[in-house]
Structure 1
Amino acid sequence: MLVDDLRALPERHSDWVTLDAARVRAFADTTEDWQFIHLDEARAAAETPFGGAIAHGFLTLSMLSMMSYQIVPDLPGLGASINYGFDRIRFVSPVRVGARVRGRFAVASVDEGDGWLAVHWDVTVEIENAERPALAAQWITRFERKS
């Protein structure tokens, strides 16, 4: 029944989250990626086609974990989860610093193993008021299957 419940999940959206300058700076400090396109609004506006500073693509990708906590239901029999990886990731559009993004998750398939379930998600990170998404990915999470 648990597998059928997961397969039947409707497409879901996370809440909007702002990729503000403080979050971008914290990510830059954590990853030591201090490229000016992320941190210097004036220089990025003058020297890039982005019109200003943009968030790191990997920051946008990293937000999927937080977003997924909002969309995975609390199903009896579903235990702890781990990030199992990606089959595909595409950074489609840059996210301007200060923009809001949200995740759109749809279950593509579910695999069963001995004591676990692997959920394959089609994920899109949308940028508020933008036609094109920030990224599109095929993400796999593994869940412990409780007895």
Structure 2
Amino acid sequence: MLVINNFEEYKSYVGKELGFSDWHRIDQDQIDRFADATLDHQWIHVDQERASKEGPFKVTIAHGYLTLSLIPYLWKQIADVRNLKMEINYGIENLKFGQPVLVDSDVQLIAKLKSIINLKGITKVVIEAILTIKNETKPAYVGDVVFLYHFI
């Protein structure tokens, strides 16, 4: 895991890959719990029998927003940003979904530091986030995740 203690250390990684997370399996239970939390019970996500008969993938698929919601969890496996007063998930830019994540697939986040800027004491960081799917060549998505950090 990468340890970052301050702005200057972070800045030294511009243009470089920061690392990758462990593999995370998205199973039907996680999909169902996400559906309950978001009130999105579309059959392609939660109805295994119907998905097997009528769905284009013959299995259920994870919600796109479920895969996005994994970013903080997976990011914490890549980098430990220390000496902070505050950390804010500021946004996601230029996001493109490449392909759906089928139930029981393993996903992994790869992160690269695109840019960093000091905004009067607040550090704005843009991370290129790629969610790969095990044994697939095309990623689930690629997008720029924006974090704001207030270092001590």
Amino acid in the other structure paired with 1:85: G
Answer yes or no: is the 8 Å Cα contact 2:24–2:107 preserved in 1: yes
Greater per-residue strand proportion: 2
Separation (CA, whole Å) in 1 of partners of 2:128 and 2:91: 13
Q: CA RMSD in A?
A: 1.6
Runs of 4+ in 1 over 6 A off after TM superposition: none
Aligned partner of 1:145 in structure 2 is 151
Separation (CA, whole Å) in 1 of partners of 2:122 and 2:43: 43
Q: 1:73 deviation in Å?
A: 2.8
Aligned partner of 2:135 in structure 1 is 129
Aligned partner of 1:89 in structure 2 is 95
Aligned partner of 1:59 in structure 2 is 66
| Residue pairs, 1:62-81, within 5 angstroms | 62-75=69-82, 77-81=83-87
Answer yes or no: is the 8 Å Cα contact 2:7–2:151 preserved in 1: no
Q: Give the stretch that moved more between structures: 19-28 or 36-45.
A: 36-45
Amino acid in the other structure paired with 1:136: V
1:90-120 deviation per Cα after TM superposition (whole angstroms, max 9, x unaligned): 1111001111111000000001112210110
Answer yes or no: is the 8 Å Cα contact 1:122–1:138 preserved in 2: yes
Separation (CA, whole Å) in 2 of partners of 1:8 and 1:14: 21
Q: Give the stretch that moved more between structures: 9-18 or 126-135.
A: 9-18
Aligned partner of 2:118 in structure 1 is 112
Q: 2:8 aligns with which of 4, 7, 10?
A: 4
* Structure 2: unaligned runs, 5 residues or longer: none
How many residues align? The count is 145
| Residue pairs, 1:26-65, within 5 angstroms | 26-65=33-72
Amino acid in the other structure paired with 1:131: T
Instruction: Give me the TM-score of the superposition, normalised by structure 2.
Output: 0.88
Matched position secondary structure for 1:46? helix
Separation (CA, whole Å) in 1 of partners of 2:115 and 2:127: 7
Answer yes or no: is the 8 Å Cα contact 1:50–1:94 preserved in 2: no
